[in-house]
Amino acid sequence: MKGKISVNLREKLEEIKQNGLEEIRRAEDTKHINDVRVELLGKKGSITEVLRGMRDLSAEERPKVGSFANTIRDELTQAIAEKHAELEELKLAKRLESETIDVTLPATPVKTGTPHVLVQVIDEIEKLFLGMGFQVVDGPEIEEDHYNFEMLNLPQDHPARDMQDTFYITKQLLMRTQTSPVQARTMEVHDFSKGPLKMISPGKVYRRDTDDATHSHQFHQVEGLVIDKNITMGDLKGTLELIAKTVFGQQREIRLRPSYFPFTEPSVEVDVSCFKCGGKGCSVCKQTGWIEVLGAGMVHPNVLKMAGVDPEVYGGFAFGLGPDRFAMLKYGVDDIREFYLNDVRFLQQFAQKG
């Protein structure tokens, strides 16, 4: 009786093998072949069901049937693996065929970007001063209180600090309110025995302003400094006239009005004749014929002393201008926030450097 059971099990296993090979051959995709694998070789698959009948076999027949079952399992496993690999290759071939690119078709045009309008203005200013023998010096945006205020004649209790309230990281570290600290740092290390110091320091600055059409908590500055023997207010005026004519047009004139800055003495506000009405008076210049554009002055002796420069031998002038304000005036932009919104429709208006 047990011998007959052994024969029946072998016949069932052989039948499962033949039917399985046929099912494997007919599989059309990887999902189908995975279903066949589970049906044949899974825990509840056909071969497992047949092998449960081995408990009725004799001890002598059981290993023979088990070996036969393992052989069939191995054949089916190999056949499934080969079919799966074949189907994967077909799947990849179809995908590659569907994604084929016709390299003879015209390419999609790629739009070439242009520098941001503020970068254009800063580049124009840098080009002007490089041509005059100035150097462009960069510095840290996270600055020490010592350089941002104290080295510029603004001690701890100076009321002018309130106008430059900024973002403090610690009591001694802050986001710089101006690029003047770069000038202080450069004066400290400059060797005047090798020549004068002529520099500009462009960059971002930060103040706790309420954002509106003409103010921003972050904006740009370009500050300039010249230190040498026998520097006069006439040198400053000539430099300021050149800036105004280069940026706003050769017909522009400037005027200097007395002002106050802690780091310069004397100090001046600089106006340029209105480039819209030519000085006759209009809405841009508020009917005055003049537009305020920057501040300047002769370097304060205290600033020179703190940087280790002898004010009895050397003097100089300094100025600070805002590229954001220059761009607003030059292009008639009425809201400074437009420069920072990244609206391509706005920025495309300045595709050509002006």
Annotated binding-site residues read 265
Q: Is the peptide bond before 323 cis (omega within 30 degrees of 0)?
A: no
Which residue pairs from 343-352 have beta carbons closer than 8 angstroms and sit at least 24 positions apart in sequence? 347/116, 347/117, 350/114, 350/116, 350/117, 350/120, 351/114, 352/114
Q: HEC states along the chain?
A: CHHHHHHHHHHHHHHHHHHHHHHHHHCCCHHHHHHHHHHHHCCCCHHHHHHHHHHHCCCCCHHHHHHHHHHHHHHHHHHHHHHHHHHHHHHHHHHHHHCCCCCCCCCCCCCCCCCCHHHHHHHHHHHHHHHCCCEECCCCCEEEHHHHCHHHCCCCCCHHHHHHCCCECCCCEEECCCCHHHHHHHHHHCCHHHCCEEEEEEEEEECCCCCCCCCCCEEEEEEEEEEECCCCHHHHHHHHHHHHHHHHCCCCCEEEEEEEECCEEEEEEEEEECCCCCCCCCCCCCCCCEEEEEEEEEECHHHHHHCCCCCCCCEEEEEEECHHHHHHHHHCCCCHHHHHCCCHHHHHHHCCCC
Per the annotation, where are the binding residues for Mg(2+)?
265
Contact 54, 63 (CB under 8 A): no
